[in-house]
Structure 1
């Protein structure tokens, strides 16, 4: 006698065989190859045989059209002197931020060194020491990343 579980397995087996879709290979005028299982799109495409393995990959996102190379005539212009002034102001701001960040990095490194020199009685397990030092190390790493980013920004200025 067949149980409901046997019937369900039989039904799933039958449905799985009919779930395979036809896959078509399409080549456009420019020689680009695409694959589809949509019959409405596949006009003029060749049908692939069912015995080939198929994997799916999402289509690449459409590329935005390139921006025009020249600015329109009515586009506001900045005089070279005004631009130099802006660049100099930006450089001064970045240098000030860099000095502050380097100072914060030095303080974070000192705090980490101070904490590394201390051992508490409840830290017989070295993992507890590592857990205690982790926030100090993260702070040092964060300030180091900020310093590196500011230096990179300054290098890229004109």
Structure 2
């Protein structure tokens, strides 16, 4: 019964090996693996046959020539797609107001985190009988303060970039 199952697999495997052809490894600065050469051409180039070694072919993107223009992404922007100055000013004002609202919220979160951290002198809770739990909570609070300070600074930088 096992032979009946394996026989078709062996036939398919041998057909695949025959259909693949002879693969040659040709020397050179870029080593070339090819199956498009005849036996005579392979000998002339000094290529060797590769037998029983699986070969994986990987397609890669061709590098662009230096100074070449990048591929177009949806078409060129012309004069018809420009935004008039009034509309751009309105967008900038809206962006500024959104960033300022985010800044106020971030400053409030920072103040709350600093108050809770208490300069590292926070109150011990009842569930922190182990001193290490208290130290772990203080380290987490300190990290929160640093993260909120970084958020506030990033928002201030974004607002400063606006015209």
TM-score (norm 2): 0.50
Distance 2:91 2:111 in 1: 30
- Out of 71, 76, 98, the residue aligned to residue 77 of structure 2 is 71
Cα 1:156/1:119, change in 2 over 3 Å: same
Cα 1:37/1:154, change in 2 over 3 Å: farther
Matches within 5 A, 1:7-22: none
Q: What displacement does 1:94 show?
A: 0.6
Q: What displacement does 1:100 show?
A: 1.5
Q: Larger % of helix: which?
A: 2
Equivalent in the alignment of 1:123: 130
Equivalent in the alignment of 2:144: 139
Q: What displacement does 1:36 show?
A: 5.0
2:101 is the counterpart of 1:91: no
Distance 1:107 1:63 in 2: 52
2:150 is the counterpart of 1:148: no
Distance 1:135 1:76 in 2: 49
SS at match of 2:116: helix
Distance 1:137 1:61 in 2: 47
Equivalent in the alignment of 2:85: 80
SS at match of 1:117: coil
TM-score (norm 1): 0.52
Larger radius of gyration: 2
Q: What displacement does 1:86 show?
A: 0.9
Distance 2:27 2:115 in 1: 65
